[in-house]
A and B are shown apart, each in its own frame.
Chain A
């Protein structure tokens, strides 16, 4: 109710012009477009750090315990004589996972595009609460800063894996990284969750309340459906991680025993009694699994929109797409146990989770086939955004299919925690979500910065990235099936795996090339802000409302009245029209029927 009242006050604001200073425009901005850009730039910086970490530990895996100038320069005391230390190896793996999953693919992806597109595509002046939106970004910024600070503490950053299972994460004597580094990790994540919740609530309220006249739920672009459902999953599951983090803080600092029991470490018995680490696993994965859908659903939404626009065709099966988003969202909350088949929980629970997990393949298959059919008999405009969208479908299929193996409890016994898992989730949610993010950036860059990204650099960026992504993660399945466990600092103590060493070298070389190529993208991104080709209002000839807003950003998005909506978002190449797209704000012609989609 209060959100509603807020917006009315907000709407009135636009009547009289108010002055903006540098600080209110660029730093503490309440404008959703500026906040979106802030999310994107912060996410990009975190992404660079996260990718750099992965390149470092990949080099350690390929050339174990060999001196490396890069390690010496970047790791300092953690790489005496340039040889990476085993503790920092685990820390790099941990922080890489945390940064990529939360800071890049949750905040950087969902934060950027939900903020940019929700008001623009539903026809709203701004978010329901611009103030909360601003607070949400600055909490995210604060949590990023704390996470970066944690890299510099004396005993090392958190190193218990991004899943931070106790007791390893709870006991400073178990691991250097479980001291101050873990404390900062937990504080950072608690703030991050607060940020995410504020953002999600705002998105939900905005989509429900602020749609323009005529924008019924079944006329919403699929992007908005994806952001909306993502926000709901976030609100349901993030608080559970928050509670797990708080309980872990209690165990660590105040002597409670929620997750700990019967521990003898470094020659002494600890007082903990009656807790269970498995409880933590349940709480963690109750967020952790929906989290992968929080990451992938926005990417799916962006890809659906970009594919329709660049195919000059309606998205195939609009209602089926919405239904599958809803099905995935529902199922995502009841499958978390498939991360815990061999955690010691009752095998009967494993059966239940196998059943629900494999069900998710059905809505996922529907989506994949609908995307492919959207291309069929289209008039495909191969813009970089389109390439990344096609790349998304490709990696989503390749990565998703191996989920059939991992979701099957009997098969999981032997590939659990091996490189097979690493290959699976990197393809299906890492690379795919990253492709979705890149696609979104190439497509909406003109909306964000009023300029175009260079397409030829975009082509080079896509093709080399695409080859490297497969080069890294496809062979990785095979070393996993051969039984190689993940998170091993070196495999040299296992002659059994000696014949896999050359595969690891190949993977690392692909990773290095793929990592370095991102410089082209960064160059394109940052120089185009100032020197890019000036954009026209609707460069891709799309139907959605954001392209009816002027190129120059203005507070309130549209001069004068907000456009009204008369049709769904996918009237591309509709018979009876001269042009191959009809924007949503164009009234139906006389005698024209809106598609009963």
Chain B
């Protein structure tokens, strides 16, 4: 039945187009004009549409920036290096915005201004080395600036300073969840390999049971971080590629089976403080209004309403990893050193978590 309906609709569309073509042909003033080559009338019409389209591009740009440009993720970075990335982003955006506005104007305005007319002759203008030099050198200068700024930012972020005595945390990825492993009192992760995984003994991350460093390791399903302390993440994956994406901290690194990758940053805002910022409160309010709206049809059907949203930092998987890729996440809690110490004390050490 659906197929039949689809076919009927398609046939109607085709007939409609056919009729449209006939109307176009009848509308031609003279038969010999029907060459399907643009006439002066077509040129004029399309020239105006070009200006209209320019306006459309500007409007959609403005609407997007006004409506969705207030990006909490752009302004609310929660790591020490976050603002440097955001600065670079803003500078790049401003440059892009200027170039985009000017070049789109020139393109569409020329298309409008120089619309074809019978009898007019174009200017024979084939080359000009000065102009070519200008629009080679200007991008060179702008890009040189961006490259230097970009690379210094990149090196600062990726360079790991071991003398900071960072908290070492392993992020362990598997289809489709995350685990975090802390080094315990010695802040040293014990040796591990997926070949040592022993599900029956609950050695789920494949830690080397003989390694003294592994004994006090702590494995958790939530990531807690003390505020203001550098963290060095060591990423591992047991099956396929995953990517540890922590957008609020401007941090991301792939987890690759067979190797350990790393990324370090210092969280600067606790979860509690972030919830208190006006921007975040406004965002949460907006989201909760949406959720109330979305709950109405659910309630009408006798189902449960959506839970109200409360802000939390998140770790997302950002590399396609299989069926439930879209739901591979872990909560991140940034808290004060005292809160963190209290939390880590409650967790079981590796040697105590094994089943004998």
Which residues of A approach B to under 8 Å, CB–CB? 69, 72-73, 86-87, 90, 160-161, 165-168, 171, 174-176, 260-265, 267, 269, 274-278, 311-320, 342-344, 347, 350-351, 354-355, 358-359, 361-362, 365-366, 368-373, 375-383, 386-387, 390, 393-394, 397-398, 401-402, 404-405, 408-411, 413-414, 416-418, 452-457, 459, 463, 466-467, 470-471, 474-475, 477-479, 481-483, 485, 487-491, 493-496, 498-501, 503, 519-520, 523-524, 527, 532-533, 536, 539-540, 570, 572-575, 580, 595, 597
Chain B residues with Cβ below 8 Å from A380 are 43, 47, 111, 114-116
**B92 engages A405 (CB within 8 Å):** yes
Chain A residues with Cβ below 8 Å from B117 are 379
- A470 to B56 Cα, complex, angstroms: 9
In this complex, how many residues of chain B approach chain A with their Cβ under 8 Å: the count is 133
**B290 engages A410 (CB within 8 Å):** no
Known: A275-B258, A318-B127, A382-B43. A355 touches B147 (CB 8 A): yes
Which residues of B approach A to under 8 Å, CB–CB? 2-3, 6, 10, 13-14, 17-18, 20-21, 24, 34-38, 42-43, 45-47, 49-50, 53, 56-57, 60-61, 64, 68-69, 71-74, 84-85, 88-89, 92-93, 95-96, 99-100, 103-104, 106-108, 110-111, 114-117, 120-128, 131-132, 135-136, 139-140, 143, 146-147, 150-151, 153-155, 157-159, 174-175, 193-195, 197, 199, 206, 235, 238-241, 243, 245, 247, 250-254, 256-259, 261, 263, 283, 286-287, 290-291, 294, 306-307, 309, 311, 314, 316-327, 329
From the candidates A161, A394, A475, name the one contacting B57 in the complex (CB within 8 A). A394
Chain B residues with Cβ below 8 Å from A536 are 35
Chain B residues with Cβ below 8 Å from A165 are 241, 319-320
From the candidates A314, A362, A386, A482, name the one contacting B125 in the complex (CB within 8 A). A314
Distance in angstroms from B40 CB to nearest chain A CB is 10
Known: A261-B257, A347-B158, A377-B122. A408 touches B88 (CB 8 A): yes
Chain B residues with Cβ below 8 Å from A491 are 326
List 16 A-B pairs, Cβ < 8 Å.
Answer: A261-B257, A316-B125, A342-B254, A378-B123, A381-B43, A390-B107, A454-B36, A455-B42, A459-B42, A475-B60, A481-B71, A495-B287, A523-B18, A532-B36, A539-B36, A574-B124
Known: A362-B139, A378-B114, A381-B38. A471 touches B60 (CB 8 A): yes
From the candidates A267, A390, A459, A489, name the one contacting B199 in the complex (CB within 8 A). A267
Chain A residues with Cβ below 8 Å from B45 are 382, 459
- A500 to B241 Cα, complex, angstroms: 27
- A428 to B128 Cα, complex, angstroms: 27
Nearest first, the 10 A-B pairs at minimum CB distance are A261-B258, A483-B247, A452-B36, A347-B158, A344-B261, A382-B46, A264-B194, A495-B309, A488-B326, A377-B123
Distance in angstroms from B114 CB to nearest chain A CB is 5
Distance in angstroms from B170 CB to nearest chain A CB is 14
**A90 engages B116 (CB within 8 Å):** no
Chain B residues with Cβ below 8 Å from A481 are 71, 73-74
Chain A residues with Cβ below 8 Å from B254 are 342-344
- A312 to B92 Cα, complex, angstroms: 37
